Structure 1
């Protein structure tokens, strides 16, 4: 089944302050005054099993990776939990919607008994707060909008998506569209940002995310601003897997995802039959065992030409650009959904200028 994404305008869905550390980065572009006073910057967070990252995209076309925030043990426990179910104590549809001002006030001033979902949202909140604090310190003003990507155990892991959405809502931020974006696609968008090619010429790209907790593979078709995930594999390691087992799991998954033929047709046209590019984003990029597995499985040409600039921050950087364009689209409804007083608190800089009124 194909999942089609159009860059910038159409996205169909495939996510310290206390005891965690914030690692700020030196910006590749630090001139924060160069972006348009009319447009609000695009802000994105990307969550992994043990940390979160933040990035900003500005109206002058530049982007910056801002910070990495390490998660608490409670956060890691949630993100690595093998079995999750959504109980009747919360309404999933509520968690997926934009921030409701009245609901937000209700949650802040009328505390309800703790449920499993409340506890899980509390586990995510310190990372979100740390990322938000780093972004606001960088910009010099508060923010109102964000989008969060993460790598779930399955692309349709509704429980974790609902928990992240609820935690974002409780933090007072609005997500700029419903649904949960997949990290591999936005890692590819970060390459487009750097290369300026927008998926041209048409090709197949193998995207790899590898960490000490597992791996995520995606075979993506790209062409002129469109991407389609043709194959996908996400695997979290278990306690019973030793180093040899983990290497074997990754090698087998790689062999399966690159195995021809690529019998897919998009709009009646056969996709290319050769993988042209390799993109690696992870915090385990230079692990010798990982490199050995790549050498044993992939063509040397792919490995030598692999794109891996700012690999830890790639999904957040690519997502931030999409946030910017959707948020600043004059026809976007989300522009009017900032929490009460947020635009005013941000001195108008956290919202597009035409909706930065005193009560916006």
Structure 2
């Protein structure tokens, strides 16, 4: 087995961006605002790859999965982050802005570290050698989580790893990516060489929620009447105790385009529990109604009137209040109702759906490069 893969660097951005899924990668079509997802790699692959590794950095915890050459996927670990990690994941610099004229947003509550022995280290960037914005502190916090996930994965595989894909739930800022690159280098993984969408789109792809299109080459020797799968809207929700991250995604022919995004720690399970039941439900319902308001302009003068698929992932994917609210909001907008179960047997665990998806993608990409 070789020591790594050399992925092609290609920054993917959130606002108005599109990704095309093929057997080997997502291909970017056009680029505006903030980068989301990264593939890390070292060196060149000398032969076929036995496994692919995927990490998911959630706001409160990290996840590791491995895709094996025999086609099986193993969920390795769920590692709870400490206070420093959780604070680093909530640094409020992910400004999403406008998508199709509708305000979308990212909002994170900062963790209060008063009376903590960590105060001087977290809030004194000069001591850390940082730039005054706590970036170096965040990089160190991320490196601790990456080291834990890497160690757990190597323990399971009985082998050193030098390649992993890392995904986050939210659209990542350039500042976040800078710190992530530093963290990756510190645990002997190399700088990012490609980029991919956040957890919601990765999970939709893992569940096969992408259409097929045919051109003249595809149809040679086949039925010329074969039609392309229709354009569809997919609502993805990554839900945990820490935050609600919702994406309204336009998919056609395997191309995914983010149309609306909400990332809000007030709407996580813990945040809502601090409010009265009625207030919490109203806030959640308002946010979901805003992101799912239809019809949605398809860019060709027509409107997309229905949400075709729903993906719910994260440790709180089964929350009854979330499900009840979605039923009310989507009662006239969802055809047909599809959840995380899709066509897989057994169903994908919603906690590990994204780390599984990128583990497969890492394996597939490295083998694609070997065979090029």
User: In which range does the TM-score fall when normalised by the shorter chain?
Assistant: 0.5 to 0.7
Which segment drifts farther, 167-176 or 112-121?
Answer: 112-121
Matched, 1:64 2:74: yes
Identify the match of residue 289 of structure 2 among 255, 261, 265: 255
Using the TM superposition, give the Cα deviation of residue 201 of structure 1 relative to its aligned residue in structure 2, in angstroms: 5.5
Matches within 5 A, 1:321-332: 321-330=360-369
* Matched residue SS, 1:57: strand
Matched, 1:4 2:22: no
Identify the match of residue 117 of structure 1 among 113, 135, 154: 135
Matched, 1:164 2:180: yes
Distance 1:306 1:148 in 2: 24
Matched, 1:318 2:357: yes
* Matched residue SS, 2:260: strand
* Aligned alpha-carbon RMSD (Å): 3.3
Contact 2:235 2:311 in 1 (8 A): yes
Task: Show structure 2 runs of 5+ residues with no match.
Answer: 1-14, 29-34, 38-46, 96-125, 214-228, 342-347
Residue in structure 2 matched with residue 289 of structure 1 by the alignment: 321
Which segment drifts farther, 318-327 or 129-138?
Answer: 318-327
Distance 1:232 1:84 in 2: 11
Contact 2:212 2:254 in 1 (8 A): yes
Distance 2:212 2:135 in 1: 39
Contact 1:204 1:276 in 2 (8 A): yes
CA deviation vs aligned residue, 1:224-272 (integer Å, no higher than 9, x gap): 332222222111218797254443232112112221111022xx58574
Matched, 1:206 2:206: no
Structure in which a larger fraction of residues adopt helix: 1
CA deviation vs aligned residue, 1:305-354 (integer Å, no higher than 9, x gap): 42253111111111222222322233xxxxxxxxxxxxxxxxxxxxx699
Contact 2:233 2:250 in 1 (8 A): yes
Distance 1:148 1:233 in 2: 21
Contact 1:221 1:271 in 2 (8 A): no
TM-score by length of 2: 0.66
Contact 1:117 1:163 in 2 (8 A): yes
Identify the match of residue 187 of structure 1 among 184, 198, 203: 203
Identify the match of residue 82 of structure 1 among 89, 92, 103: 92
Q: 1:9 to 1:179 in 2, by over 3 A?
A: closer
Distance 1:196 1:58 in 2: 23
Contact 2:234 2:248 in 1 (8 A): yes
CA deviation vs aligned residue, 1:37-92 (integer Å, no higher than 9, x gap): 7224221111111001112223444333221111011101111233699xxxxxxx
Using the TM superposition, give the Cα deviation of residue 303 of structure 1 relative to its aligned residue in structure 2, in angstroms: 9.0
Distance 1:179 1:291 in 2: 31
Residue in structure 2 matched with residue 344 of structure 1 by the alignment: none
Contact 1:55 1:65 in 2 (8 A): yes
Identify the match of residue 156 of structure 2 among 130, 135, 138: 138
